[in-house]
Amino acid sequence: MKILPFKEVLILVVGTTPQIVTETIYGLVKQKPPIKPEEIFIITTSVGKATTRARLLQSNLFQTFVKEYGLGQLDIPEDHFIIARNSCGNGLPDITDEMESEIMGDLITSFIRTLTEDQKIRLHCSIAGGRKTMSFYMGAALQLFGRPWDRLYHVLVSPEFESNPEFFYKPKRNRIITTRLPDGTIKKLNTRDATIRLAELPFIRLRDKLSLQGMNFKELVKEGQNKIDTATFQPELDIDLSARTVRIGNRLIEMIPVQLMVYAALLRQKIQACVHPDRPYCYECTDCFLVLQDLLARPTLEKMSEDYRRMYRENPFRAEELKAKWQDRIGTETLRQNISKISRTIREQLPEEALWPLYTISTVKKYAGTKYGIRVEKGKISIK
């Protein structure tokens, strides 16, 4: 099966220096092998759009550049200017306060998120133009949603040519332009002396590591941080039935055998009865939680008896006594009392209060009644 090449899509954040557009494309064309954008999107303000249209498009400078470097029918149509707008729908002329910064951040994040759904395109994103906050949001959006083949760049232009209103790219035929020095004198420059370098910026790709539902940038950051914290900062939970020990990280928790048996049953339920095995992390999922009657059902009781037997391997009759006792005389109230004691034991012996909600037994209200389970990530659990 023939693998089709990506459609190369260039996305730029632009302020009032539209040279960034042609300088970035020039840098891409000079890559080995050359990268020729087939589509361009410019994220900017209303003033940035007007400036870019006047100095690049209406002046025919962009069309001249495209023809000079053999870029085919490359153009920047009207709807490829992505403009930040206020709540009234009016384009923002600039980014001057926190609210406008948030609007721009949400726009950039949403736009990148949408484009990365198309698996047939490769994004080339430039952070060289616009406000520094715009560059930050572009990089952050790629960290959240960028694919392995998407790219992020900065453009480095030799100082005398950088932001020079006469310099947009290195023409194939040298030109003389002028620049004003700090002391006010005018200096002539030859475009052959200019350097334009495209620096590719590495970034951490979180797209396949996090499943994010947030609708704006702040929500995405908060959600992503919570999921990273949940996935990476939970200590391992190790149960050794033969040694009758519970270890949370480096902390050894003492628990009597009956309570250890119940605790292990709920942990095993989380490992073996997950209804979403395709999800890499549990997060807030409680679909594996049990009602108390499930813990008294024969299949669960058989496994609990086996665990109890391992704890009393020198006296196997203890397990049979337990099974008969639980089936005949122990009801949900006794089980509820043991669950309460398990959580109290963990809280008393685990000093990190922030970990209590993860390792104690939690309850959730469901239609079938109250369900019980443990919120720690299933990948952190070991029972032997």
One-letter amino acid for residue 124 of the chain: H
Tell me the C-alpha distance between 146 and 112, whole Å: 8
Mean pLDDT of 317-336: 69
Tell me the C-alpha distance between 191 and 279, whole Å: 55
> Which has more pLDDT, 275 or 61?
61
Domain spans of the chain?
7-227, 234-383
311 token code pair? 């704890």
* pLDDT exceeds cutoff 50 at 1: no
Give the pLDDT of residue 252: 93
Give the pLDDT of residue 314: 64
Q: What is the DSSP letter of 5?
A: P
Tell me the C-alpha distance between 285 and 267, whole Å: 14
pTM of the complete model: 0.67
365 Cβ partners below 8 Å, 6+ apart?
371
Contact 43/159 with Cβ under 8 angstroms?
A: no
Give the pLDDT of residue 324: 65
> Which has more pLDDT, 372 or 213?
372
Element (H, E) at 309: helix 298-311
Element (H, E) at 177: strand 176-180
Element (H, E) at 123: strand 121-126
- Most confident among 139-153, 217-231, 357-371 (mean pLDDT): 139-153
Per the prediction, the chain carries an average pLDDT of 89
Contact 138/125 with Cβ under 8 angstroms?
A: yes
Tell me the C-alpha distance between 349 and 352, whole Å: 9
Q: What is the DSSP letter of 290?
A: B
pLDDT in tens, 225-256: 777 766 667 889 999 998 888 999 889 998 98
For 219, other C-beta atoms within 10 Å of its C-beta total 14
* pLDDT exceeds cutoff 60 at 2: no
Tell me the C-alpha distance between 289 and 304, whole Å: 16
* pLDDT exceeds cutoff 60 at 105: yes
At 179, the pLDDT band (50, 70, 90 cuts) reads: confident
Give the pLDDT of residue 240: 92
> Which has more pLDDT, 302 or 145?
145
Tell me the C-alpha distance between 201 and 192, whole Å: 26
Give the pLDDT of residue 26: 97
Tell me the C-alpha distance between 124 and 200, whole Å: 10
Contact 65/22 with Cβ under 8 angstroms?
A: yes
Cα separation values, 251 from 166, 199, 311, 348, 371, Å: 67, 48, 20, 12, 27
Tell me the C-alpha distance between 245 and 253, whole Å: 7
226 token code pair? 């919570």
